[in-house]
Every structure is written in structure tokens, then in C-alpha cells.
Amino acid sequence: MSLTNDQLQAVAHLARIAIEPEWRDALRSDLNAILDQASLLDDPRLNELEPMAHPLDQTQRLRKDEVTETDQREELMAGAPASERGLFLVPKVIE
Amino acid sequence: MSDYAIPSGWEAVIGLEIHAQLATRSKIFSGASTAFGAEPNAQACAVDLGLPGVLPVLNEGAVRMASLFGLAIDADISRVSSFDRKNYFYPDLPKGYQTTQLARPIVVGGSVTITTGEGKKAREHTIRVTRAHLEEDAGKSLHEDFHGMSGIDLNRAGTPLIEIVSEPDMRSPEQAVAYARKVHAIVQYLGICDGNMQEGSFRVDANVSVRPEGDEAFGTRTEIKNVNSFRFLQRAIEFEIERQVDLLETGGEVVQATRLYDPDRDETRLMRTKEEADDYRYFPCPDLLPVVVDDETVESWRAELPELPDAKAERYQSEYGLSAYDAGVLTSSRATAEYFEAVIAREGSDAKLAANWVMGEVAALLNRRETEIDRCPVSADRLADLLVRISDGTLSNKLAREVFETLAEEGGSVDEIIEARGLKQISDTGAIEAMVDEVIAANPGQVEAYRGGKDKLFGFFVGQVMKAAKGKANPKAVNDVLKRRLDGE
Amino acid sequence: MSSNSQHSAATGESAIINASIPELRRLLVAGELSPAELAGTFAARIESIDPGLNSLISRVDAVAPAASEAALAGIPYLHKDIFCAKGTRTTCGSRMLADWVSPYDSTVHERLTRAGAVLLGKTNMDEFAMGSSNENSHFGPVANPWDEKAVPGGSSGGSAAAVAARLAPFATGTDTGGSIRQPAAYCGVTGIKPTYGRVSRFGMIAYASSFDQGGVIAKSAEDCAIVLGEMAGFDRRDSTSADRDVPDYTATLGESITGLRVGIPKQWFTEALDPAVGDAVEAAIDELRAAGAETVEIDLPDADIALAAYYLLAPAEASSNLSRFDGVRFGYRCEEPRDLQDLYERTRSEGFGAEVKRRILVGTYALSAGYYDAFYRRAQKARRLVSAHFDRAFEQCDVIAGPVTPTAAFDRGAHSSDPAKMYLEDIFTIPVNLAGLPGMSVPAGFAGGRPVGLQLIGRHFDEARLLNVAHQYQQRVDWHRQMPPVAADSSNQ
């Protein structure tokens, strides 16, 4: 399994991470080294096993339908990089 | 009712994805309020904002409501369902993923019965539902200008939704609208969604494709988003069918894409093609565990189910002798049925008369006022008062319409209006006899002609008496007296 | 002896910094020491010693505890800077959150505050808990108190180094693939990673949600038992937290371990294990035998598969968990974004360090269309396989004992050119996280002058047993009492 530059570019776009050209080759070989290890997962003993999503065999606990939160906009928005009139500001959203 | 006809030689294939906001008090994964119309971000708590370190906890009410929908359409309620993450970047999506149910939705299967056409042309269709799953709503981007920036309001983020996915079982825009209306009615009957399309509580996306009549294979489909009324749904699908048929008939080809309906221009336009579609990298949400519901809980939910539109319509036919069409109209929304039932709750009420009024005068009034029946200016109680005065002969239908208008315009009570405007019908035989005698005396020629065999002149005498009575005479009494006097008994 | 102005031997700095939590509590309750004095002693040590270690990212002004009777009333501590504490800067070792002040409390912080513990600072860590050396922090590397050329381990390297240097009686940590046990081993302190779900993750910034677990780093098993008892327990705000009672971990510390069956994984003692580390661990196991335990050889194969699975699953979860760092609602935002795409890309490229970006990219790839089944799903199956190996092993034994890491702390920069090699440091710790089991690291001597840890692994929710075994071991040895020279230097000032 070997990642091409185009694949790396596509993955970087999905992750919204820009890759500086000078980092690309080193990164590609790092990723390939990790993905090479993934060939261990071709082990046929895994075929019949049930995928395990959680370490504990528990089920979801439900919350009562109650409003427990009050308006904390001021505090919660204090760390926002850009806000105005109670809104978070971002570069123009084009639909 | 639209007169739209699909271009001949073609068949349309339509499936709908309906997002219904659940009417829970708090959000699906947090304790923030879901109430509409708060100050921007005042109802977005740390969990809704996706602050570092926060975790979701599932709202029991959302699970119950989604399951009620499943039970209402006779679907399977998954005893084990689970949540997945759908990953994509968008400013109204705080965590960079939407928590949804891909692999194991809570509701699987089920169907909805719809009727199109009326009278002899009425046809029933069964539209299969593939699944309905729970998910969280996103926030909103506000495009008004903030120095060239957009504003993000996350109050809506985390509002519970069920996404109801149909099979591609519909063949016309009319069927699609009938299905959407039926689902709309069901969620409102269940009290799990307020159904407000303007506020976005009930949103419909349509998957539309066309194929030559007789073909088995589906054509390439497009998905139409942003349809916020039933009328627009009809128009958007019509437009899309026409657009696709035109393309195919002129040697072009339909491109799989998401399109936006623009009601101002009455057209759909390209939003993104399949190639541009994000790779959502779905995977099981590690912050939520499998949701398990037991049989006992499901049965307790089943016991909660109210009378649903189809059952109600059948009862209206058998109990009140209404036609299938009338029963269908009166049960088409929970609010209409509630209004109708409130009117006929009055002792001695006449259900057929009530049905005619609700579907006639009341519907026309709502149309003129562009409002909904739960905001009808004439309450069900007032209408019931009015119908009593028709039944007891106080008002003719014509006078009753006048009173209805006054109720709508000015309010007040039925009897006060009748009194104040002197609208009371003249049923007093003495008074009518006096008027009849005057008319006979004033028209000797016509009397002679009538008695000579010109039966049609009877109507003339009725008209003259009514004119003298300024329309308030009881028509039956006028008829009786005239007959007696003219036929010389 | 009621005067606070005159320090007796028991309240002198060198006594205080080596005192156990029960000893400190006795001094506080007896009024021989005030909470302010105790906090002041450690704050002064942080001031004088930490500049040479860089184990803290932020200092926090001590707030007097509300209740003086609570279990940890007046005991100073440090939080790994991954735990949100309202009003404190919470950076997760990242430029992304370099200036972010949490507007809310994590459950762990709430509980420790309720128990009367006094927060003195937030410790350095690998960015977003991704790393085994603490070299991936935006706030610079941390020195190992035993040898400044050596790494302290990671990702809770700041917490381990700070406790080793006696800058606080205990510190919180988190362990996703070994991030409590490995730095505890490298720094010669005691650390416990409880069963997955034992400690609430609410307010603990997520790396890989189905692995992350909060825990404690302290000088001894006894101190760990006391602190864990206060941190642990069901939290309705964390759906994955375990809804079961928390035993009194201190009640069983003194129990004899005679007849205890200790499993020794034969696959862990091979040429990959540094001989000096192996010797130290063997000696520790001998000590357990001397205390009455029986040892049995067990089979714990497929550590390589576990590693491969972990390095797909954890990055996959991380790639999703870290999507919220987009420059919109909190944290770093790039200068003058041209458009949305630019906002996202530059914010994330500038805000995240290389290792975080590397793991996000691996995880994104592992989840992307066409690879999900080959990577993510297969890795989840491998997780099942590894868990089953532990289940089988625990049919033969009550606890498992072995090394924490293949080597003692390595030199700073030694592995930075080869991330895949660095990942091998986690080969004995990662399988435990896959299975969600509790694990401990207990100081067990030295290799080349650098500390070695003994790893103890238990069944799900068997923390009490691990703490009991570790405590019994610590009754017989004094490795955990040894202090690095850098800590002693200051106390002699």
C-alpha cells in the first residue's frame, strides 16, 4: 500500500490541512510506514471476528427531556476569534 | 390541484427525504432549549458549540418521538440502533461532523397510504418508507452583511431531527405532494413535530429521475433541496421533470447532482455535482453507545398512539356519513380535524352541515387571510353557534354567510350579530301572509297567467315576496303560503 | 507543636515533598501546616525548579479549599493541560488553544475541587496527547528530572516530570495508548490508568474517544488509590462512563498477595526488550513472588497487530474529534482569511503541529471511502482479537505483570525523524487500551541511570487489586521513594 501525491492531496483537502511542498515527501513516507503496518490486519484470523467499537459492553443511557442549560452566550463566546451581535463571524458563506 | 401532466412517453420516479424537527423541549444531545426565535446563540450551550472536551448524552424524548413515528407507519422499531459520525466542514456544523444514524437506524420499513384524485378518479397508493433515523440539526449561516462576513447562529444546532427516507415509489409530483402532506399530517397528529415549513421544522428534499415509459432501469437522479412549501415541492418536481425530459429528448444527459429550488425564479439550479460531493468518512460515534429499547417500552409507546389520519377518515365516513373525499380533507391535518371535531361536539350538531362549512366558508376565509386553521378568526365554538341558528331555522344559508363574515371581520357573538343587524329570518306566518297578499294584489296579470297554467311564474312570486321581506323571509314558509294563496285552497 | 511559624522536621520542605497524602492530611488536620503554607511550598518549588524542566504550561493561583474535612482538602496538585477548569487557560499543548480559557469545568476538576484538592498549575503534554516523548508540545519539550538529555515520556510527560521533581504531591494524566504509564515509568513515579469508563471524560479534551481514560500520577500506589477514589465514578454527562460503584481503593491496599496468580506474558520478554529493563522487571516480579504471589507464564501474542490497529483507530477517531478546531468558535484563527476554505486550511495548518497533522491525515485516509473496510473495520476486528487474548490470559491469572516499555527513557531527538519507530515504545501499553483494561506503572529500579517501570494489568474494574499489588510491592522496595537530584537540590536551598 503506497500513497501517491494525488491521494495525499485529496486526503489533505478532506482534512482541511495544507501541506507545504517541502514537507510532502517526508510526510508521504511517514504515512506509508504507518499504512505498511496495516498489512498485519490482513491476518485471516480477523475475518470472522465482530468489529469492536467500545471496550465495554454497555448500552446508551438516556437523558430526560429537560432544559437544564441557561443562556451563557457571553461566557461561551468570550473565546471566539470573531463575533458580533451574538454571532460568530466567518468569511462569506456561499451556498 | 395541479393540472400538470408528465410529458408523454416518460415516467417520473420520485423519492423524498423529509427532515422533521422533533418537538422535544431540549436538544438531542444537550440540555439546551429548542424553542424557536431566541437571540442568536443564546440557546447554544457548550455541547452545542462543540467546545473542546464536551460529550453528547442522548435525549430520551427524541428516541420516543422517532419511535412513535415508526409505530404510526407500521415500521419496525430497532431494538438496537446506533449513531455514526458524518464528517464534513461547514461553519454551521460546530463539531465538523453531524451525529446521525447510518448503519443502524431506529426506524426501519413501514409505509404510508396516499390518495390522489377525487370521486371516481380517486386512486390509493402505498408509498414504502425505507427508514427513519435520528440525527442532529445544524445551525444557520446568516448572509446579511457583516463587513463582508457571514454570521453563524448555532441555536438550531443539536435540535433533534428524524430523517424519513422513502423508497422511489412516487410517479408524479401530485403523489409526491400527497405523500409529503400525509407524513406532515402524521407527525402533527403524533405531536412530535410542529410542522412549520416556513421556520424549517419540516423540510423536504426530492430525488427525481425520469425514464422512458416501460423501462425498468432508473434514470440518473438529481436531488432537489430547499423546498419549503408543498406548492414549491409540486413546482420544483414539475420543473425538474421537464428539465430532465428536455435534456434527454435533445440528446443530452442528466448529471447526478444536488440542485437548489429557487421559488423566485421557479427553477432548480445546480448546487454541486456528485464529483464535488464530500467524502463523509462515516464511522461509529465513539462517544455514544448502542441504543437499546425493550419490547415493554415499545408497547408503552404503541399505547400512546393517537387516532391517526387514515383511521379518523374512516370513522368520519362510517360515523357521520361523510364522503371519502370530505373525510380525507377534514383529516388532512390535525388542526383541521380538531377544528371540525370541536364544531360537531355541540349537541344536536349536523356533521354534514359542519363538514360543508369547514371545507367551504372556513377554508375560503383561511385562503383569503393566508392563515392556518389553528389561527382561524372564527373559532370552532362560534361556528357551532352559527350552525345551530341554521338548523333551528333562524338563519338561511345566505344570512348565515353574512353572520360568518361579520364574525370574521368584527368578532362578537352569533345571536348579537343577528339581533343588531336584524338578520333574523321572518318565519312568522301572519307577517308572511300579509306580504304574500300584497304581492298578489299588486300583480293581477301574473296571477291570472299563473293560474292559467304558467307554473314557471311561481318563482317570480317568491322573488317578489323575498324582495318585500328584504331577503329575510323563511323560504319554506314563503313557498307554503304562496302555494296556498295562488292555488286557491 | 501547634505553631505554624516554626517548622518541625515533619513540616520542613524535604519532609513535605516526600510525604504521602495521608501524612500531609494529618499535618493539615492537626493544624501543623495550613493549606496556604502547603500550596506556597509547592508553588515556590515550581517557581525555582520548573524553569529547568518546563513541566508546566500555566501556573494557577491556589484557591483555599471549601471544606477542610474532604479527602484531599488542602492537597496541592497539577492538571494535565487537557482537563478543562473554568477560568484557566487550557491549551492541550497546542498553538490551536494557546490562549483558550475554558468557560466550564471538566467532571474530574469538579470532583477534585469538591474533594478539596488545590490546583497549582497545568502541565505540559504532547499536543492533543499525541506522542510518547513530550517533544510534540507547542510549549516546548519537557526535561526528564532524572536526566535532562532524556525525554520524560508522553503524552502526560509534564505531569510525570512534575511529580518526580516533587513539584506537587500528585498530578492528573490521561492515557490513550500508554500516556500515563509510559511517562510514569520514564520518570520513576507511580501512575494508574483505570478501566475505560471508570473516570469521566467530560471536559477532558478528546484525542481518541474509545481509548482515552483519565488517571493519576503520584509518588505511590497509596496516593494513587486516594486520588483515584475521588476522581472515579459515573457521570451522567459522559455516556461512556461506567455506572457502577467506586470501591474504597485504600481499604484493600494492605491485603496480602499470598496466592495471587501473576501472569507473565512470554512474548514480552524477547530480544526487543532492553536487557537492563528486563533485569529490573524480572527483579520486581521476584519481589512479588517473595511477597507470596505465584507466577504463571501466559500467552499474549499479536502485540504487532495491536499496534497496527491502534495506529489506525486512534488517528481515525482523532481526525474526527479534531475537526472542531476550525477557527470559528474558539481558539486559533489564521490572519486575514480570504475565504472559508482558506480559513480552515490555514487555521489548521498553522494551529496544529506536525505529529497532530500526521495523525489527522492517517485517520482521514483510514476512514475515507474505499478504505474504511480495509482499515477501520479490520482494525476494529483486531481490537476484538487482542481483547480476547486478555480474556483468555485472565482465566489463568489475576493480574499481569511485565515491562511498561521496551527501553528506559530515550534521548530527546532520538526518534523524532522516525515516527513509526517512536510508536514501538507503546507496544506493551497499547494492547491494554484496546481492551479497555486498567493498568499501572510502578517504579522498579533503573537502567543506565534512568528509571524503569513495572507494568501491572488487571481485569476490567479491578483497580483495587492493581493498587493492592503495587502497594504491597512498595512495602518491600524503595524505588518509588527515590528522588531525582534536581528535586533534592532545591529542597536543600
pLDDT of res. C5: 44
The distance from CA C400 to its chain's CA centroid, rounded to whole angstroms, is 19
pLDDT tier for residue A95 given thresholds of 50, 70 and 90: low
Grid cell for residue C210: 474509545
Is the model's pLDDT at B274 over the cut of 90? no
Do the Cβ atoms of A17 and C360 come within 8 Å? yes
> B281–C320: do the CB atoms touch at under 8 Å?
yes
> pLDDT band at B6, cuts 50/70/90?
very high
Q: Based on the number of CB atoms within 10 Å of its own CB, is C176 exposed (0-12), middle (13-18) or buried (19 or more)? A: buried
Strands (E), B88-166: 97-100, 107-108, 111-116, 123-136, 140-146, 149-153, 160-166
**What percent of chain C clears pLDDT 70, i.e. is strictly above it?**
97
pTM tops 0.90, yes or no: yes
C91 touches chain B (CB under 8 A): no
**C323 vs B: CB within 8 A:** yes
ipTM of the complex: 0.96
The pLDDT value given to residue C8? 66
pLDDT over 60 (residue B167): yes
Give the residue from chain C lying closest to B277, CA to CA. Answer: C369
**pLDDT score for C64:** 86
Q: How confident is the model at residue B421 (pLDDT cuts 50, 70, 90)?
A: confident
What's the pLDDT band for B391 if we cut at 50, 70, 90? Answer: confident
**What is the tens place of the pLDDT at every residue in C395-448?**
999 999 999 999 999 999 988 677 667 778 899 999 999 999 999 999 999 999
pLDDT, mean of residues C307-335 = 97
CB of B136 closer than 8 Å to CB of B158: yes
Better pLDDT: C418 or C473: C473
Q: Which three cell numbers stand for residue A26?
A: 517526508
Alpha helices in B250-323 (DSSP H): 295-304, 309-320
pLDDT of residue C212: 98
Mean local confidence (pLDDT), B215-232: 93
pLDDT at C6 over 60: no
Is residue C152 pLDDT above 60, yes or no? Answer: yes
**pLDDT value of position B146:** 76
What does the pLDDT read at residue B230? 95
pLDDT at B153: 97
pLDDT in tens, C125-149: 999 999 999 999 999 999 999 999 9
Cα–Cα distance measured from residue B436 to residue A34, given in angstroms and rounded to the nearest whole number: 106
Region of C368 please: left (phi>0), alpha (psi -120 to 50) or beta.
Answer: beta
The confidence score (pLDDT) of residue C445 equals 98
Q: Which candidate from B95, B152, B286 shows the least CB-CB separation from C317?
A: B286
Which helix (H) or strand (E) element contains residue B380?
A: helix B380-391
Which of C80, C122, C193, C219 is catalytic? The answer is C80
B299 pLDDT more than 90: yes
Is residue B216 over pLDDT 50?
yes
> C191 forms bridges with which residues in the sheet?
C217, C441
Q: Taking residues B449-466, what's their average pLDDT?
A: 88
Q: How many cross-chain Cβ pairs, A to C, lie less than 8 Å apart?
A: 173
Check if the beta carbon of residue C52 is closer than 8 Å to that of residue C490.
no
Residue B253 has pLDDT above 90, yes or no: yes
Q: Is C155 a catalytic residue?
A: yes
Task: Output the pLDDT for position B409.
Answer: 92
Rounded to whole angstroms, the Cα distance separating B143 from B150 reads 5
CA distance B480 to B115: 45
From C129, C135, C166, select the one nearest C24 (Cα to Cα): C166
Residue of C nearest to A36 (CA): C308
Catalytic residue, from C132, C155, C200, C490: name it. C155
pLDDT of residue A34: 82
- pLDDT at residue C68 greater than cutoff 90: no
Q: Specify the pLDDT at position A52.
A: 95
Chains that touch A (3 or more CB pairs under 8 A): B, C
Confidence of residue C2 (pLDDT cuts 50, 70, 90): very low
User: Is residue C493's pLDDT more than 50?
Assistant: no
Q: Looking at CA atoms only, how far is residue B159 from chain C in angstroms? A: 18
Cβ neighbours around B269 below 10 Å, total: 9
What are B28-48's pLDDT values in tens digits?
999 999 998 899 999 999 999
Q: Is the dihedral of CA A7, A13, A15, A19 positive or negative?
A: positive
For residue C179, indicate whether it is catalytic.
Answer: yes
The predicted structure's pLDDT at residue B2: 59
All cell numbers assigned to B206: 426530492
Q: How far is residue B398's CA from residue C85's CA, in Å, rounded to a whole number?
A: 74
Amino acid at B352: K
Which residues have C-beta within 8 Å of that of residue B337, sequence separation ≥ 6?
B309, B312, B330, B331
Nearest alpha carbon to residue C176 among C316, C378, C351: C316
H or E element in which residue C222 lies: helix C221-231
Q: Mind listing the pLDDT tens digit for each residue in C211-237?
A: 999 999 999 999 999 999 999 999 999
Q: What is the pLDDT of residues B400-416, one digit of tens each?
A: 999 999 999 999 999 88
Lowest mean pLDDT among A51-55, B95-99, C448-452, C487-491: C487-491
Alpha-carbon span C94 to C225, nearest angstrom = 31
Residue B255 pLDDT exceeds 50: yes
Short-list B197, B175, B207, B210, CA closest to B263: B197
- All cell numbers assigned to C438: 486498567
CA angle C63, C67, C70 (to 5 degrees): 110
Which chains form contacts with chain C, at 3 or more CB pairs under 8 Å?
A, B
Of B288, B474, B467, B275, the closest CA to residue B389 belongs to: B474
pLDDT (tens digit per residue) in B302-359: 999 999 999 999 999 999 999 999 999 999 999 999 999 999 999 888 999 999 999 9
pLDDT-derived band at A1 (thresholds 50, 70, 90) equals: low
With cut-offs at 50, 70 and 90, classify the pLDDT of residue C19.
Answer: very high
Cα C252–Cα C256–Cα C260 angle in degrees, nearest 5: 105
For residue B116, name the pLDDT band (cuts at 50, 70, 90): very high
Among candidates C456, C482, C458, which has minimal Cα distance to C288? C456
pLDDT digits (tens, 9 = 90+) for C261-283: 999 999 999 888 999 999 999 99
Q: C293: pLDDT confidence band, cut at 50, 70 and 90?
A: very high
C421 is catalytic: no
Instruction: Answer whether A71 sits within 8 Å of B260, measured CB to CB.
Output: no
- Using only C-alpha atoms, what is the Rg of chain C? 21
Q: In this complex, is the C-beta atom of A62 within 8 Å of any C-beta atom belonging to chain C?
A: no
What are φ and ψ of residue C399, in 5° steps? -135, 160
Is C12's pLDDT higher than 50?
Answer: yes
Whole-number percent of chain B with pLDDT over 90: 72
Grid-cell match 397528529, residue found? B189
Q: Which residues in chain B touch residue C100, judged by CB atoms under 8 angstroms apart?
A: 52
- Residue B70 burial class via C-beta count within 10 angstroms: exposed 0-12, middle 13-18, buried 19 and up: buried
Mean pLDDT over all residues of chain B?
A: 93
Q: Does C307 touch chain A (CB under 8 A)?
A: yes
What's the rounded Cα separation, in Å, for the pair A92 and C337?
A: 10
Residue C291 CB neighbour total at 10 angstroms? 16
Q: Is A74 on the interface with B (CB under 8 A)?
A: no
Three-class SS of residue B135? strand
pLDDT (0 to 100) of residue C492: 45
